[in-house]
Amino acid sequence: MRIGQLAQLVGVETQTIRFYEQQGLLPPPDRQDNGYRVYTEKHGEGLAFIRRCRILGLSLAEIHELQSYQDDPHQPCTAVNALLDDHISHVRSQITALQALEKQLVSLRASCNDDREVEACGVLAGISEGNMHQL
């Protein structure tokens, strides 16, 4: 299987596959005489694993860490669970921050309507006056 087929199968671009190889997330495949990469099913699974991790929001470094655990299957999986717990709390704090932000933006938006000139715009005034407790 060549790189284009693998890319289509998993739904990524060929450059992304080369990029993962370069980053050490995918093992370097064998090459044909002409230099073309030849992939096996194993590579497909590895790539799918990476993609699923990315969909879950894990960083390449975290994926690398997970792979290192997979390479040593008789350890306890405490570290895997801890990694996920950390990620969950990271996601939760992002949600909380964004919800606070949304509230702020909505209240800022409520301070203006479309019938004003920029000079009297409540939104711009709200940002400029700095009645935001963060600053």
Partner DNA sequence: TTTAAACTATAAAGCTACTATAAGGTCAAT
Partner DNA sequence: ATTGACCTTATAGTAGCTTTATAGTTTAAA
Interface residue list for DNA (CB under 7 A): 2-5, 7, 12-16, 18-20, 31-37, 54, 59-61
Angle between helices 41-55 and 60-70 (to 10 degrees): 130
| Region from 15-23, 24-32, 34-42, 80-88 binding a second copy, contact rule CB under 8 A | 80-88
Q: From CA 27, how far away is CA 82, in angstroms rounded?
A: 26
Question: Residue 43 in contact with residue 27, Cβ under 8 Å?
Answer: yes
Distances (CA, A) of 115 to 92, 104, 129: 38, 22, 21
Residue numbers at the binding site for a second copy (CB under 8 A): 10-11, 45, 48-49, 51-53, 55-57, 66, 69-70, 72-78, 80-81, 84-85, 87-88, 91-92, 94-95, 98-99, 101-102, 104-106, 108-109, 112-121, 123-124, 127-128, 130, 132, 134-135
